[in-house]
Structure 1
């Protein structure tokens, strides 16, 4: 039947009820409804409907705001530990559970625990005066409606404007064209993930809300896998095609595994136990303030749009949030020059990194190398060559962690760099391998030796030096060296035996030798180094150095003068050693 009506429902004309041919169904294939999958309209009808919506919004001085649920305005978990903490008033986490809601879905005994983001009630009340609110979630319709009843119990803010994965046509992507196929100039999106929106310029990204530590997004399997690679937003993204049954089945299995993990392993209880081992304090802490920041940003977007709309003339184009939001973002980090160290994988082109593009979208200039223009070094760890070089610049370059960039862009304001400083490694207090570590005697005995030096009688020390130098022929042997031969003759061939002297000192001797036994007294530790050296020399006796002669180059006669010069040279060396010992 040849039907010219613009609205169809499941292969039937919604006006006259005629059964439509496949070609006619294709022509009118735009789905604009939130809760009906089979209701479609033609392109002409879609344009008419959007025009009516735009006129109504302009009359009320409003824009459209699409809100995500999980980790944007609420956080959800299945961990039964939460219910136990809610019931136990003596538990340290009980006070933090006051704003937690719980419910079950039709046909399932599974309990959902939902924590509203701090300030949500005030946020919704104020933002609903500036925007017409929509919900767009990767959760099921039953889940979306249950959450909506908790955050909007009177049903006046969202009404029927709730879109779930059951009707969206895709369980991996979100798109504005699903709800606004013709005109997105008045549509703003608030979501904790930008990749699911293909980095749309309509998006305002909020920092993910994670109240239940370590549980993440319970609906994350139904969405794109998060990667570090970003993409340029498409000019006219298409409505995503319905995902195939195998993909949906795999995502469902993944979510079922998450349910089993949380209900059986109880990750919150485990993390509380780990925390108690280090410090007795509650795991659940609710100090998030992000919605207050988002309210200011959304208010400014609204103000800029209607300021431009009120001043619009026939010669100017209508305002567009796709231009307003990027313009606002670009001034946040304007004038800053950033360099990255240890953050971007080596195999990746730096300009394609999500952190690089994030910084660029907020107005920063990204550099590859440190120069005099650089203001911030974003580093993952200390000790890199760039970090060492940046330290030489002093306070001219702020060395911060990647969290500084993430928080500055999430809150649309430059954060205090001192709160994100890169932790430098601390100097170890204990020596890991003392046997192979040389000691620094000057530092180790700095205080102890001061008292010894102060008590030295320097006149007595001078006399000892003079007496030692007057002992002609005295010679000091370096007994610690294995390469110096003793002038007393060949080395002993007998065994060395240790004797005990009368005062308890050890003595050494050599048996089975023709040489007379020589006893060497070890210097007492209580003696000064100079006295010890002098006593050791005295016990050795006089050396044979005075008997050494040198052959004359012509007749081989002895040369007393050479003997005297040799002795004098030796005494000079000895005096130098003694001076060094005193010093």
Structure 2
């Protein structure tokens, strides 16, 4: 077995130096944790409100406008990034059985010959977990930082957030002190256990809603800010994460495959973000922030995102077959609502306007009608994929099971 006690040990001095450099900013993750325990009602983790200039702005709406204008003046928006299953995937040592521990140590040992900045599998002894960086994450952060002020917002602990930031941004160039860690009780991978933990932009990003784009693998945790949300496909490298979500099949580690760094989820999402950024500032030039509230609504990223979403499935007329339970209101079903958010028109019966039948079985009356009338018959995965990628997926790749 490879003798790997802690793959980051050889870089410990450099990492500690980088950590100290980050902590020279207004507030560090560690300092925020101390502040959280110092008084009742303090939030766990770093909060933007703790930064001096923003703390003042919270009590002075005019000053908050100055903060926003400074951001927009640098031609940037805010990009709020989740950690686990979005940028990385982590598994506690206790969740990795002996066979997979051996294989992980083999894979990590093979990476020791690479430059440090190209290693993507890490054994982190101080937080007792393995972490796999999502392919393409470093290039994603580099390019995103050109157009966005980057934030991390995790429901995990401050220790977990600190460890992940050191891997993703060892010099503090991308995130600085802009890290919010809620510090909720942890589950197997140091993320919330046994319950959905809600996140809110009001916790640390007060007043920036018109310019904030949120990136997360779950919409459930953002009930109050879904108009700002871009949902990415969940990154699941470790078997324990797949079990945690009750998913069938094997993880990426088990099948020894991974996402493509240049064409995977992060790069696909980045292309959308760059497009949204361009649209926001194009509209802002036509109706600058100093204009009337009605004019400003045109460049609000929430409105820009909604308009772009509706273009994805514009012209698509869907009918569902054996997807929505008969006793339920179809208009309340998540897939019906998702389709409408992305511009599709949904109906209960097939007619001359129907373009797609979304079905889980191949022998239903609606499916037979669609085939006879040369309409698309697809599985629900086609709809989900189109919405994840923000582009209409190839119907031929998503046949309905027979």
How big is the shift at 1:30?
A: 10
TM-score by length of 2: 0.74
1:421 aligned residue: 399
Closer, same or farther: CA 210–350 of 1 in aligned 2, 3 Å? same
Higher-Rg structure is 1
Distance in 1, matches of 2:131 and 2:45, equals: 29
Distance in 2, matches of 1:182 and 1:164, equals: 19
Q: Contact between 1:31 and 1:178, CA under 8 Å: does it hold in 2?
A: no
Closer, same or farther: CA 31–144 of 1 in aligned 2, 3 Å? closer
2:178 matches 1:161: yes
Q: Contact between 2:46 and 2:181, CA under 8 Å: does it hold in 1?
A: no
Distance in 2, matches of 1:188 and 1:341, equals: 34
Distance in 2, matches of 1:103 and 1:282, equals: 21
1:403 aligned residue: 381
Q: Which residue among 285, 294, 303 is the counterpart of 2:257?
A: 285
1:462 aligned residue: none
Distance in 2, matches of 1:201 and 1:48, equals: 25
Deviations 1:470-499 (A, max 9, x none): xxxxxxxxxxxxxxxxxxxxxxxxxxxxxx
1:308 aligned residue: 283
Q: Contact between 1:165 and 1:171, CA under 8 Å: does it hold in 2?
A: no
Closer, same or farther: CA 299–62 of 1 in aligned 2, 3 Å? same
Q: Contact between 1:336 and 1:365, CA under 8 Å: does it hold in 2?
A: yes
How big is the shift at 1:49?
A: 4.6
Q: Contact between 2:82 and 2:152, CA under 8 Å: does it hold in 1?
A: yes
Q: Which runs of structure 1 show a deviation greater than 6 angstroms over 4 or more consecutive aligned residues?
A: 29-32, 35-40
Q: Which residue among 322, 326, 340 is the counterpart of 2:302?
A: 322
Distance in 2, matches of 1:35 and 1:415, equals: 39
Distance in 2, matches of 1:70 and 1:30, equals: 20
Distance in 1, matches of 2:44 and 2:120, equals: 37
2:169 matches 1:152: yes
2:274 aligned residue: 299
2:154 matches 1:101: no
Structure 2 runs not aligned, ≥5 long: 1-39, 113-117, 186-194
How big is the shift at 1:213?
A: 4.2
1:362 aligned residue: 342
TM-score by length of 1: 0.52
Q: Tell me the SS of whatever aligns to 1:360.
A: helix
Distance in 1, matches of 2:59 and 2:175, equals: 24
1:333 aligned residue: 313
Closer, same or farther: CA 271–146 of 1 in aligned 2, 3 Å? same
Q: Tell me the SS of whatever aligns to 1:132.
A: strand
> Larger helix proportion, structure 1 or 2?
2
1:178 aligned residue: 203
Deviations 1:3-49 (A, max 9, x none): xxxxxxxxxxxxxxxxxxxxxx99xx999952888999588525245
Q: Write the mapping of 1:438-449 to structure 2, written as runs, cut at 5 A.
A: none
Question: How many residues get paired?
Answer: 334
Q: Contact between 2:320 and 2:359, CA under 8 Å: does it hold in 1?
A: yes
2:96 matches 1:121: no
Distance in 2, matches of 1:134 and 1:383, equals: 48
2:17 aligned residue: none
Q: Tell me the SS of whatever aligns to 1:172.
A: coil
Distance in 2, matches of 1:42 and 1:125, equals: 31
Deviations 1:98-153 (A, max 9, x none): 621121336xxxx3111111111100000011111111111111001101111111
Q: Which residue among 63, 70, 76 is the counterpart of 2:84?
A: 70
Closer, same or farther: CA 45–116 of 1 in aligned 2, 3 Å? same
How big is the shift at 1:375?
A: 0.7
2:208 matches 1:194: no
Q: Contact between 2:45 and 2:182, CA under 8 Å: does it hold in 1?
A: no
Distance in 2, matches of 1:353 and 1:330, equals: 18
